[in-house]
Structure 1
Amino acid sequence: MPMSLHDAFVPSARQILIGMKGLVDKAEAFVRDNGLQDSELIDAKLAEDMWSLPWHVRACWVHTGYAVRLVMDGEFTPDFTEIPSDWEAMRTMLDDALAELDGIDAEALEAISGQTTGFILGGKRLMEMTAANFLLSFNQPNFNFHAATFYGILRMKSMPLGKMDFMGPMRVLGS
Structure 2
Amino acid sequence: MSISIYRLTVPMFQRGLGSLKTYLDKAEAYAKEKNFDPGILISTRLAPDMLPLSGQYQRASDSAKFTLARLTATEAPKFEDNEKTFDELRERLEKTEAYLAGFSAEALEGTESRQITLPGKSGIVLPGDEYVATFALPNFYFHVATAHAILRSQGAPIGKRDYLG
Query: Shared fold (TM-score greater than 0.5)?
Result: yes
| Mapped partners of 1:120, 1:44: distance in 2 | 26
Aligned partner of 2:89 in structure 1 is 90
Task: Give structure 1 regions of 4+ aligned residues with deviation exceeding 4 angstroms.
Answer: none
Instruction: Please say if residues 56 and 146 of structure 2, whose CA atoms lie closer than 8 Å, have aligned partners that are also in contact.
Output: yes
Superposition map of 1:139-150 within 5 A: 139-150=136-147
| Mapped partners of 1:106, 1:57: distance in 2 | 26
Q: Deviations over 1:122-155 (max 9, x none)?
A: xx56211112221221110000010000000000
TM-score using structure 1 length:
0.85
Aligned-residue offset at 1:80: 7.7
Is 2:106 the counterpart of 1:104?
Answer: no
SS in structure 2 of the partner of residue 113 of structure 1: helix
Aligned-residue offset at 1:43: 0.9
| Mapped partners of 2:56, 2:122: distance in 1 | 24
Q: Cα distance 1:147–1:158, how it changes in 2: closer, same or farther (>3 A)?
A: same
Greater strand content: 1
Aligned partner of 1:162 in structure 2 is 159
| Mapped partners of 1:103, 1:74: distance in 2 | 12
Aligned-residue offset at 1:67: 2.1
SS in structure 2 of the partner of residue 85 of structure 1: coil
Superposition map of 1:8-157 within 5 A: 8-73=8-73, 81-121=80-120, 124=121, 126-157=123-154
SS in structure 1 of the partner of residue 138 of structure 2: helix
SS in structure 2 of the partner of residue 158 of structure 1: coil
Q: In percent, how many aligned pairs have the same letter?
A: 29
Instruction: Please say if residues 68 and 135 of structure 1, whose CA atoms lie closer than 8 Å, have aligned partners that are also in contact.
Output: no
Paired positions, count: 164
Specify every segment of 5 or more residues in structure 2 that has no aligned partner in the other structure, as ranges. Answer: none
Q: Cα distance 1:65–1:80, how it changes in 2: closer, same or farther (>3 A)?
A: closer
Q: Deviations over 1:79-119 (max 9, x none)?
A: 78423211111111111222222111212212222011112
Greater helix content: 2
